[in-house]
Amino acid sequence: MNMEFEMEHNKLRIGIVGGTGYSGAELLRILIAHPGVQLDVVTSRGEAGQLIADFFPAFRGLLDLSFSDPAQVDLGGCDLVFFATPNGTAMQQVPALLDQGIKVIDLAADFRLRDAGLWSQWYAMEHACPELLAEAVYGLTEVNREAIRKARLVANPGCYPTAVSLGFLPLLEAGVVNSQGLIADVISGTSGAGRKLTASLLHAEVSESISAYSASGHRHQPEIVSFLETVSGRSIGLTFVPHMAPMIRGIHATLYAPLTEPDADIQAIFEQRFDSEPFVDVMPPGSHPRTQSVRGANTCRIPWHRPGNGETLVVLVAEDNLVKGAAGQAVQNMNLMLGFDEAAGLGGIGF
Amino acid sequence: MNMEFEMEHNKLRIGIVGGTGYSGAELLRILIAHPGVQLDVVTSRGEAGQLIADFFPAFRGLLDLSFSDPAQVDLGGCDLVFFATPNGTAMQQVPALLDQGIKVIDLAADFRLRDAGLWSQWYAMEHACPELLAEAVYGLTEVNREAIRKARLVANPGCYPTAVSLGFLPLLEAGVVNSQGLIADVISGTSGAGRKLTASLLHAEVSESISAYSASGHRHQPEIVSFLETVSGRSIGLTFVPHMAPMIRGIHATLYAPLTEPDADIQAIFEQRFDSEPFVDVMPPGSHPRTQSVRGANTCRIPWHRPGNGETLVVLVAEDNLVKGAAGQAVQNMNLMLGFDEAAGLGGIGF
Amino acid sequence: MNMEFEMEHNKLRIGIVGGTGYSGAELLRILIAHPGVQLDVVTSRGEAGQLIADFFPAFRGLLDLSFSDPAQVDLGGCDLVFFATPNGTAMQQVPALLDQGIKVIDLAADFRLRDAGLWSQWYAMEHACPELLAEAVYGLTEVNREAIRKARLVANPGCYPTAVSLGFLPLLEAGVVNSQGLIADVISGTSGAGRKLTASLLHAEVSESISAYSASGHRHQPEIVSFLETVSGRSIGLTFVPHMAPMIRGIHATLYAPLTEPDADIQAIFEQRFDSEPFVDVMPPGSHPRTQSVRGANTCRIPWHRPGNGETLVVLVAEDNLVKGAAGQAVQNMNLMLGFDEAAGLGGIGF
Amino acid sequence: MNMEFEMEHNKLRIGIVGGTGYSGAELLRILIAHPGVQLDVVTSRGEAGQLIADFFPAFRGLLDLSFSDPAQVDLGGCDLVFFATPNGTAMQQVPALLDQGIKVIDLAADFRLRDAGLWSQWYAMEHACPELLAEAVYGLTEVNREAIRKARLVANPGCYPTAVSLGFLPLLEAGVVNSQGLIADVISGTSGAGRKLTASLLHAEVSESISAYSASGHRHQPEIVSFLETVSGRSIGLTFVPHMAPMIRGIHATLYAPLTEPDADIQAIFEQRFDSEPFVDVMPPGSHPRTQSVRGANTCRIPWHRPGNGETLVVLVAEDNLVKGAAGQAVQNMNLMLGFDEAAGLGGIGF
């Protein structure tokens, strides 16, 4: 292949801390083709010095950059830095970056909760910079668009919270369901668990099998509750059970809510909330989205059902956990923070 | 291979109407190795005359029998006949078989509801022998064991109803949950849809995708409600949403119920109900069964969770939809009807 | 979602005959995002009148066009028409289109062989316009680039022939292998078989299984042999065995050739042949490409091995059967025929 | 579940060293249901002390035994010990066991080659007991049945060598192919790589992808060559390329051999060789076995093709890599060594 790598000096410079996981790889895939930025630094503890395109052959001929050692790297030349690291890493480095005037988007959980005590309880460590929790903007673009434009620090939502929050939000804002009786039954592909070396993620363990996990309590439950309470001003009662399915990408959420306003026009509520949104597709009522239809796309598809015309409303949400659920939404937020068109680089069509 | 096919005249004779679908194939797999029966007749409209072992190479060397034409076959020599046919077929032939003194197990839905009007509403045809609906015994073995022993006609439960009913039953019998607020969110492998030639079941459509289907109303919802109301004597309100996952076999049910007796000993309730059952495995509280662990086995595994020690009880159920959810339970029922050990031929271990 | 569909009158107009199969869908996915063309007509016998985005929800919000009835449609306004139809369809309509000055790319097999008798033998019908066989240019871009630029009619290569031909070609051109002793052992994902309603393509049949098919003779064998004989001027002896694997997309070819020039610099031969090619990636010797790395990309990756430093050369080739093996290469050819940059619209990165 | 665990003192006692890998688990699955043996000791370094049924929930209610620490365990009470350990472990312990009169079957590679130098070259360590290499019987049952009956030490063949050797053997014995020009192109499910924590075996890496590996040289190549040379008395030239496919179980071998006796009756050669074999199924010529048809079964299915009636013979072989390719064949050998019926416990039917 004929590679042409010219430094384009009018492009903004991007750093990625933690470039070998699935979110990091998806960031690379999107940013390589982004018209307004160039990758400046990509770090990896384990692969420092290796050509990124050797580690990810999908990028052969497209990216002439090696992984940097995070202990030695200088991110000072970056306009914006993404953290695609395990929980607890970003909070060690973010204050210094912000001090240098560098914008930050954290794809991990370090800045998703406003309450440092609650955070410590679920993540089993002290928070390194609790003073930033109030400043960090929760990066669900459809809700916090204007704040994100001005933000120095964005906490990119978890993959589950993105799907669950977008599905419940219009109903809570409209006040047509009982916010105390919400149930979110969600199924994820295996990339959602990250590139971790645990036996439970081996192909021979995952394939031909379904199971729930963390059914007694998962870290994304308080994240969803905190966010929905903040946005809706209501007290939220949510039961959240995640499942793992034998597919690489995709999240399918089936949301149950007790309908308190039986005459509400549910379709109108969803359409009014999302019709100007470029990445939320309100489907016709009674539809069933397949996660295949959003694979590789930054789109979230949402239809609803009311079985037997009864009191339980069922909302279905499909997204790609690595795109709208992680790297895609992160780039959507980056576009706002850096003044690009919100959809720049996010034209991927599901297949 | 060295085949030895001796007619063993002391074995009871079995017929299968509809032997080319997945339930039919699984019946064949179990019955070929069953110590007390021999396959006498297996019908197929499309494959009549073909050697079964040519159609299903897995049975090469193990079964020297061809498919019979159902229009011409004489089932009169059978001791028991299974119907593994589409809905609406068994009801045309069952009265005549019963008149000949032949026992019948229907794996389809023809005899699962007691109300012919309700049946017609969901199955879109008139019932051909509504007079048999009251006699037919619903074949959830763990509930109707003694009635099954004496039955002439058993309606084998659907794959979803088996998992959902076993999971909710102990809680309803003990009266510790609000029976009006039940939710069953269930995920099935693709064999659950049968061997139907529809584009939505092609590998390239199903693979790498999750979707709900029939979220506005599925035929198994009234089946579950009718059965649970009969058994528990309570009025049941159930929201049931099935999903299809990219795996061949397996059902995973996540059941949600509002706990009305917060001090109830849930583990004791499950253990007391199922501890003498050979095919129900009550797991430790807080466990997460993988469907892999029951693949090929007649076992149903059930643990429960109570997230945040709150008011919503979560019960997880894993089964193989073709075994405990169809052919295995049918053979379990056959064993009772024919006087064999209930577990005969059902020693498959999950893998 | 916020749709904006403006007719852009300076774009060239494209027709697709047969838009519901996997190749047709992939053409749609690529052409929707192509900067220089607009979709004018997409036909489907079965889905005429239906909105394309209802049939393929992945295109919701991106394409405001319905399927046309092929019996009634007027393709006269198109600049170029793709046929993504079953074999034997394109040859009925191509002469009339060419007469109207419309360019044609056939993704089926109608124009891939130059010998009408050989074609009839493998495709079991008479050829409808054998006089066009000599004119049609075989669309392996890397070989026939200049002829494709000037062509009215391009026969897009089969998915297997693309991989096999690209892998053997440099060795045959360099004369370093015995062209009589070639073996191509190739594995394809299930989308390669098309969107056909046959039991053998159901998820429950394909999943967790591998099998060869057509091992005694497959239509792509004469296609490969004819092409390689034409290009290399040598007589070719090729054994070709295709296999189906439980994945949606991807072809992996393992090619075996008896080395006749043990001192040849194999890496140099491949690099010299392909280094200026935008869509062929010659990997380091001893590498093993995964088909994941080209999923969704128009790239073909090729490394080679010489086990035990012996006389058998092993060449590995990975491609996405729907992209470089079908729709991607078709668009690559369209770009040449219509004067666009060869890579326009083909920036997809594997994932 | 109702568990009954009675020690049955008339059963022979079996030890398994290394019970947590896939071969170990499959041995457990088969031996739990075996009529003539009982599991006495199962070791695991990492899981010592844990109940086996907690580690493998599929065995809940079926096995009341915990993993033993291999450093402390006494295998002296066993009649036969299986090693399902990494290469290099069995050879440390086998001499002492043999001295105690305990029979041994090694599922790893320690005793598969007769030449200690060749072994060291491929396994990168010194052999600990080269004096046993001549005594160890290569456990391809169909070839060494009588020697296995009398053996103290059996080297169970690798999964690939079982399929490849059974496919080539009749042709080599009959002398109808050129033994210098053999090619074996083989595809395996991921369980063949074992339960190793490497990123390349994660579900998200393996799924939707095919790749070759070790194409420049794999350890099973010398194993196959050594064995076939010993059995056939011919010099063997073999190119062997293994591939990994996204399925859990199954091996599909496509074997290519230059036919030197074009008039040979190939079908008769295969049938005469294998017709009395209980676990080899010679299929009709021109067939294509699917690995699904042998999943969970100890059967190996073999048909052949002669494309274009030419000089290259193609033999297809399907087996379950964990059964006939590992644990099933090991139990088949155990049955011979302990005087049971060869097929005892091996009645699993593919599904």
Given an 8 Å threshold on Cβ–Cβ distance, is D204 in contact with A189? yes
> Could you say which DSSP state residue A91 is in?
H
Instruction: Find chain B residues with C-beta within 8 A of C197's C-beta.
Output: 197-199, 202
pLDDT at A10: 84
Q: What is the pLDDT confidence band of residue A3, given thresholds at 50, 70 and 90?
A: very low
pLDDT at B3: 47
pLDDT at A237 over 90: yes
Q: Residue ranges of the alpha helices (H) in D67-115?
A: 90-99
Given an 8 Å threshold on Cβ–Cβ distance, is C1 in contact with A275? yes
Determine the distance in angstroms separating the CA of A192 from the nearest CA of chain B, rounded to an integer: 14
**Do A323 and A141 contact (CB within 8 A), yes or no?**
no
Given an 8 Å threshold on Cβ–Cβ distance, is D26 in contact with B347? no
Neighbouring residues of A21: CB distance < 8 A, sequence distance ≥ 6: A84, A85, A194, A195
Given an 8 Å threshold on Cβ–Cβ distance, is C204 in contact with B198? no
Residues of C catalogued as catalytic: 159
Name the closest residue on chain D to residue C296, using Cα atoms.
Answer: D208
pLDDT at A270: 98
Q: Which CATH architecture has domain D12-157+325-338?
A: 3-Layer(aba) Sandwich (3.40)
Instruction: Find chain B residues with C-beta within 8 A of D351's C-beta.
Output: 25-26, 29, 58, 296
Domain at C12-135, CATH class: alpha beta
Mutate to test the interface with D, among A20, A56, A207, A210 (most CBs of D within 10 A): A207
Given an 8 Å threshold on Cβ–Cβ distance, is D278 in contact with B33? no
Q: Residue ranges of the alpha helices (H) in chain C?
A: 22-32, 52-55, 90-99, 116-123, 141-150, 159-174, 203-206, 220-232, 266-274, 328-338
Measured distance CA(C212)–CA(B213) in Å, rounded = 34
Given an 8 Å threshold on Cβ–Cβ distance, is B1 in contact with D275? yes
pLDDT at D1: 56
Mean pLDDT, range A308-325, rounded to an integer: 97
pLDDT at D8: 55
pLDDT at A8: 55
pLDDT at A291: 98
Residues in D whose CB is inside 8 Å of some CB of A read 22, 189-191, 195, 197-199, 201-208, 246-248
Given an 8 Å threshold on Cβ–Cβ distance, is D189 in contact with A201? no
pLDDT at A4 over 60: no
Chains in contact with A via at least 3 Cβ–Cβ pairs below 8 Å: B, C, D
CATH of domain A159-320: 3.30.360.10
Please pick, among A78, A129, A159, A300, the residue that the annotation labels catalytic: A159
Structure tokens at A183: 């149930």
Instruction: Find chain D residues with C-beta within 8 A of B294's C-beta.
Output: 58
Concatenating the DSSP letter of every residue in B152-199 gives: SEEEPPPHHHHHHHHHHHHHHHHT-B-TTSEEEEEEE-GGGG-S---G
For residues A290, A293, A297, A299, the Cα torsion angle rounded to the nearest 10 degrees is -60
Domain boundaries, chain C: 12-135, 159-321
Name the closest residue on chain C to residue A297, using Cα atoms.
Answer: C58
Neighbouring residues of B276: CB distance < 8 A, sequence distance ≥ 6: D2
Instruction: Find chain C residues with C-beta within 8 A of B201's C-beta.
Output: 202-204
pLDDT at D351: 84
Given an 8 Å threshold on Cβ–Cβ distance, is B33 in contact with D279? no
Q: What is the mean pLDDT of each run of 10 residues along chain B (351 residues)?
A: 55 97 97 97 97 97 97 96 97 98 98 97 97 98 98 98 98 98 98 92 96 97 97 96 98 98 97 97 98 98 97 98 98 98 96 85
Given an 8 Å threshold on Cβ–Cβ distance, is D281 in contact with B1? yes
Mapping DSSP to helix (H, G, I), strand (E, B) and coil, where does residue D51 land?
A: strand
Determine the distance in angstroms separating the CA of C108 from the nearest CA of chain A, rounded to an integer: 22
pLDDT at A32 over 80: yes
* Mean pLDDT score across all residues of chain A: 96
pTM for this predicted structure: 0.96
Name the closest residue on chain D to residue C313, using Cα atoms.
Answer: D239
Given an 8 Å threshold on Cβ–Cβ distance, is A216 in contact with B307? yes
Mutate to test the interface with D, among C122, C203, C209, C235 (most CBs of D within 10 A): C209
Instruction: Find chain A residues with C-beta within 8 A of C292's C-beta.
Output: 58
Determine the distance in angstroms separating the CA of C248 from the nearest CA of chain D, rounded to an integer: 7
Instruction: Find chain C residues with C-beta within 8 A of D249's C-beta.
Output: 208
Q: Which CATH number fits domain C159-321: 3.10.20.30, 3.40.50.620, 3.30.360.10, 2.40.50.180?
A: 3.30.360.10
Pick out chain D residues at pLDDT < 70. Answer: 1-9
Measured distance CA(C317)–CA(C319) in Å, rounded = 7
Given an 8 Å threshold on Cβ–Cβ distance, is A206 in contact with D203? yes
Q: What is the pLDDT confidence band of residue A287, given thresholds at 50, 70 and 90?
A: very high
Mutate to test the interface with B, among C22, C201, C203, C320 (most CBs of B within 10 A): C203
pLDDT at D9: 60
> Could you say which DSSP state residue B213 is in?
-
Determine the distance in angstroms separating the CA of C199 from the nearest CA of chain D, rounded to an integer: 14
pLDDT values of chain C reduced to their tens digit, one per residue, 351 residues: 544 445 556 899 999 999 999 999 999 999 999 999 999 999 999 999 999 999 999 999 999 999 999 999 999 999 999 999 999 999 999 999 999 999 999 999 999 999 999 999 999 999 999 999 999 999 999 999 999 999 999 999 999 999 999 999 999 999 999 999 999 999 999 999 999 999 999 999 999 999 999 999 999 999 999 999 999 999 999 999 999 999 999 999 999 999 999 999 999 999 999 999 999 999 999 999 999 999 999 999 999 999 999 999 999 999 999 999 999 999 999 999 999 999 999 999 998
Determine the distance in angstroms separating the CA of B236 from the nearest CA of chain A, rounded to an integer: 13
pLDDT at A5 over 60: no
pLDDT at B9: 59
Determine the distance in angstroms separating the CA of C142 from the nearest CA of chain D, rounded to an integer: 24
